[in-house]
Structure 1
């Protein structure tokens, strides 16, 4: 049994002529396992942004390395708060502790040390009163005792990370926060997996490349540039194979070249049943393929499969055949291809999950019948004291990119969901950091 047939057989209710979004996602999650990328590179910290960690990062030090103050103020022994009760506590200031220079003096009952944020807590002192709570007269500081509890405003050694603990896990993406975390450990180099290589091309005799003169019935190729942007944002190594005409020999050559060079292949157009759509027939001849009609809008026709790459140790390339309409390309990429590529590049399940959905109040009425998942372009705005609001953004035709540019998210109307009335709550997939 082929790999595609094996996965299909394991899915309950699998019907390639009417496949639900959840079933497609479940299918691709299995197809993308195990991760294709295994080769490790060691990069300078700044060069690792956006890459996938190849190993756990284990902390060689505790962070912070010592108890320290979380505030500018005065450090003292918090046991004195209970004795003070509801009265003001007055203490004698016997020194100053600066960040980066531990104060080595001795303190006794009734003493305090002026302290800066990040400075090492002096021995025997466990509480810091913020300077804005204090009144200072000469060498004495006083403040209301009831404003504090013992241990307030003290950071403990290892509060962020203890020495020997994993700071970051294999399969995580190196984010800006992760860069800072690794830097706090004093580590200049990071082990990451190589980039996933993805080849892509557009198909169709009606498509013009940039620089060609307009002609009747033809349109310029927007899909290659959209896919380039989506893959680049994802951190892939992109291989642009250009525009391929509706010619079986040209399509076969393009797919063979793509499989030889890349881990994954993305095509746009040619996966429906039109007379000139040769892509489908060529894919079937070359590889282990499945062709679907997905119960969604936009983006009904889709293909997925494996194209052999003779001599490649990684095995066959995974192929995603997307629809030709520009918005359908983006929606199917976000809903299906992006999570699969993240798994293939070695991300752990949490990092490879689809973006979380935001709950928002719909300003508009949206017509929909149960039985398919719909993705409407929307514009989300914050509302003081309430859920965010979302408005439908322009013309929702699957070829209308202007409304995709206007939108900052997709209103996700689920398979069994009916129409939406103004004021109803809906799910929104936010674009920020994704597209």
Structure 2
């Protein structure tokens, strides 16, 4: 059974976000190969079963010595061998002896420090054919030696649940031989645009037609958010076809994102179809742009509820709505703990004038860190909800509370869109 709820009064953004996030819990964990886990979020802590490094090794190229032999310098020692990275020592270092050693090579028994090659002078061989070296630096025990387990010990919790697997994290996992990890899976998200007026084949436009752009933008934003994107193209204003596409997408995908057909106007195909097949809430959020927004779930036969995000048709509204509503929810489904963009307190280098209207305004801005160490912002050239060309270059969105606005040189909160 489906239900459609329409909220006429404007809903505070925080309430709308809480409602959507509460309906989008993290996906159950799966075990995957480490090589396939890049960008995913750990669902369980990783405990090391190995030490890193696995043996005492040198941090520099030089000579492995007994520190007592270099207490007074310069000193001449007999070179009794050489150890390259990846090789094993074949004899200990005794009194008056040293071994030439390369960075990362294991320390030989008897040696407890390394003198850098820059502090050495090769002397050739003596009368008995022994290679000799003069060392000019005195070092204490442990100098230039990386001890076994200096980075990681057996039993260490190296990463907790919620950590994103970045290249550096993946490298650490490799270093402790973690072949598989428990993660929240990457989402497969369907994206579509609807409307007979949309043209996406490059053909000449007739009066009343426009180029499709929202789906193109949203597909890229979904990919940037870490989702696998299923592009369903443009669906014409045909109820049977739209229902078929949506039901098929719900069987294949973890979530659906559409643009258009969510305003409070008269009959719309999107509203009609979603109202029949899904549990939908149509709301008016107290923000500008992106006031209209729809959210609901389409239930599969097995009981799985697939979230549907209905974004506005105006391109800037669609972008803002995705950033404030869809992106945080999709990130939560993938196990992320940090759901929103980075927020800063910036300095307004221009007036952000507005009139009280009961809404929070999200002005698109360009920003730069100035010599004072503060982030300074100015509005992009055009703020209309249809003017995507200006918004496309925005670095952030300035949050302008209801009221008269923010004056030049005043402080304003911003949500970063880049960097």
- Indicate the TM-score class for this superposition, using the shorter chain for normalisation: 0.7 to 0.9
Offset, 1:150 = 6.7
Name the residue aligned to 1:179: 170
Which of residues 130, 136, 144 is equivalent to 1:142? Answer: 136
Question: Using the alignment, how far apart are the partners of 2:114 and 2:355 within structure 1?
Answer: 61
The match for 1:160 is 151
TM-score, normalised via structure 2 length: 0.79
Using the alignment, how far apart are the partners of 1:307 and 1:325 within structure 2? 24
Matched, 1:398 2:390: no
SS of 1:265's partner is: strand
Identify the match of residue 68 of structure 1 among 42, 53, 57. Answer: 57
Matched, 1:17 2:17: no
SS in structure 2 opposite 1:402? helix
In structure 1, the residue matched to 2:190 is 199
Q: Deviations over 1:293-317 (max 9, x none)?
A: 22223211111112222x235x221
In 2, are the aligned partners of 1:263 and 1:317 still within 8 Å (CA)?
yes
Distance 1:427 1:193, change over 3 A: closer
CA contact (8 A) 2:287 2:359 kept: yes
Instruction: Give the number of aligned pairs.
Output: 404
**Change over 3 Å in CA distance of 1:312–1:382 after alignment to 2:** same
In structure 2, the CA distance between the partners of 1:285 and 1:4, relative to structure 1 (3 Å rule), is: closer
For 1:304-343, list aligned pairs within 5 A: 304-309=295-300, 311-313=301-303, 315-343=304-332
Change (3 A) 1:252 1:3: closer
Structure 1: state its 5+ residue gaps.
6-14
For the 8 Å contact 1:91–1:110, the answer to whether it is kept is no
Residue 242 (str. 1) matches residue 233 (str. 2)? yes
Deviation at 1:266, TM superposition (A): 1.2
Match of 1:9 in 2: none
Partner of 1:50: 39
- Alpha-carbon deviations, 1:195-235, whole Å to 9, x = none? 42322221234322333431212211111111211222334
1:102/1:372 Cα in 2 relative to 1: closer, same or farther (>3 Å)? farther
| Structure 1 Cα separation of the partners of residues 110 and 355 of structure 2 | 69
1:378 matches 2:365: yes
Contact 2:188–2:230 (CA<8 Å) still a contact in 1?
yes
3-state DSSP of counterpart to 1:354: coil
- Residues 187 and 228 in structure 2, CA contact (< 8 A), matched pair in contact too: yes
In structure 2, what is the Cα distance between the partners aligned to 1:431 and 1:356?
Answer: 9
2:246 alignment partner in structure 1: 255
Specify the SS of the correspondent of 1:17: strand
The residue that corresponds to 2:418 in the other structure is 431
Asked if the contact 2:214/2:315 (under 8 Å) is kept, the reply is yes
Distance across 2 between alignment mates of 1:122 and 1:369: 76
How far 1:323 sits from its partner (Å)?
Answer: 0.9
Q: In structure 1, which of residues 362, 365, 369 is the aligned counterpart of residue 351 of structure 2?
A: 365
Contact kept in structure 1, 2:406 and 2:412, CA below 8 Å: no
Q: Name the CA shift for 1:388/1:76 in 2 (closer, same or farther; >3 Å).
A: farther
Is 1:412 matched with 2:405?
no
TM superposition shift of 1:322: 0.8
The structural deviation recorded for 1:111 is: 7.1
Cα distance in 1 for partners of 2:69, 2:168 equals 39
Farther off after superposition, 19-28 or 45-54: 45-54
Q: What is the correspondence of 1:270-289 to structure 2 with a 5 Å cutoff?
A: 270-289=261-280
C-alpha distance in structure 2 between counterparts of 1:427 and 1:193, whole Å: 30
Q: Which has the larger radius of gyration?
A: 2
The structure with more helix, counted as a fraction of residues:
1
CA contact (8 A) 1:170 1:348 kept: no
Q: Which residue of 2 aligns with 1:355?
A: 341
Aligned-partner Cα distance in 2 for 1:221–1:253: 21
Structure 2 distance, partners of 1:62, 1:161, is 5
Tell me, what secondary structure is at the counterpart of 2:308? strand
Residue number in structure 1 paired with 2:130: none
Aligned to 1:226: 217
Aligned-pair distance for 1:137?
A: 7.1
Deviations 1:134-164 (CA, angstroms, capped at 9, x unpaired): 3647423224x7xx88755443322333234
Do structure 1's residue 291 and structure 2's residue 285 form an aligned pair?
no
Deviation at 1:422, TM superposition (A): 4.0
Q: Pairwise mapping of residues 108-123 of structure 1 onto structure 2 (< 5 A)?
A: 115-123=101-109
